[in-house]
Copies of this chain bind each other. A is one copy, B any other.
């Protein structure tokens, strides 16, 4: 596993002390042979790291670990599957995660990631590498925190061509817009989101629409066979909105939402993230606070929507777990 932040810790808890609470996980037995972090050291044990009280096993707990050392571990340690939980970097165009993923796939190791970077910047290349090496690259948690989006498409939309996706995919901006509507100022709303733990210390990734653009690129690349990056998404954030605009909209029973859209025409994909004014009875309008929603349009049926309510770290960790179980099931 690369990274040991909140999602990694939740995953370890699910697989150790909380394991007996979940009857359908009884047959699942995982062994972790190495956990490497960027800023908090590493731990490795080819016989399996003790997951109970795992922190005490870490070496160099307060040290930065260079990417080269992590890459070396990915290239040399023994394991079946890489669980990649590092953070997205837009500036570095998805690196170093993309290199981590490729190094594992080149060794025919399956890869599961919650990081949007690899699929947002290099999905086609990565997926072709996975196919060539007879292994899997999955990233259910990259969009909608583990709500089954990609697994839904893999098994529930067989034979369809996905023509368009749209939705509300960024928690922080949706939460901030809901707070602005109830009278908070921009800075109060952001502080509240930071206190609740889902907004970053620098919230501009969210407010400027970068997170939403990365998710839109992931959806376009995986679901619509695209080769776009977040830089190809026509992007407007929410910072030009204010309380007065939002109050005016409310008087007319309308609500601003930051909407992600990707549409396919021939082999061309156009993608956009921007605030849109929606009437209260629009299926997206009741998606408030930290909720999210995705609409999928295909050539064979009417539009379907998948929606998530009150996501927590549990959901993101579960998305990783579902990918892991998918691979385990296919390998049996």
Interface, chain A (partner B; CB < 8 A): 14, 21-25, 28, 140, 146-148, 151-152, 154-161, 280-283, 285-286, 288, 299-312, 314-315, 318, 321-322, 325-326, 329
Contact = CB atoms under 8 A, between A and B. Distances in A.
Contact of A159 (B25, B301, B315): B25
Contacts of A301: 146-147, 311, 314-315, 318
9 contacts: A22-B160, A22-B299, A24-B299, A25-B159, A151-B156, A155-B155, A158-B326, A301-B315, A302-B312
Given A154-B155, A281-B288, A304 B22 contact: no
Contacts of A311: 301-302
B155 A321 contact: no
A230 B301 CA distance: 28
B306 A304 contact: yes
Contacts of A159: 22, 24-25, 28, 321-322, 325
Contact of A156 (B152, B285, B304): B152
A156 to B, nearest CB: 2
Contacts of A146: 301
Count identical subunits in the complex.
2
Contacts of A325: 158-159
Contact of A304 (B147, B300, B314): B147
Contacts of A310: 302-303
Given A22-B159, A22-B160, 20 more contacts: A22-B300, A25-B159, A140-B156, A148-B152, A148-B156, A151-B152, A154-B155, A155-B155, A156-B322, A157-B322, A283-B307, A286-B286, A300-B318, A301-B311, A301-B318, A302-B308, A303-B308, A304-B306, A305-B308, A306-B306
Contacts of A157: 148, 322
A309 B314 contact: no
Contacts of A315: 301-302
Nearest to A314: B301
A154 B148 CA distance: 11
Given A23-B161, A148-B152, A309 B318 contact: no
6 nearest interchain CB pairs?
A148-B156, A151-B156, A305-B307, A155-B155, A158-B325, A301-B318
Given A283-B286, A322-B158, A309 B304 contact: yes
Given A161-B24, A281-B286, A309 B302 contact: yes
Given A155-B148, A161-B24, A314 B300 contact: yes
B158 A329 contact: yes
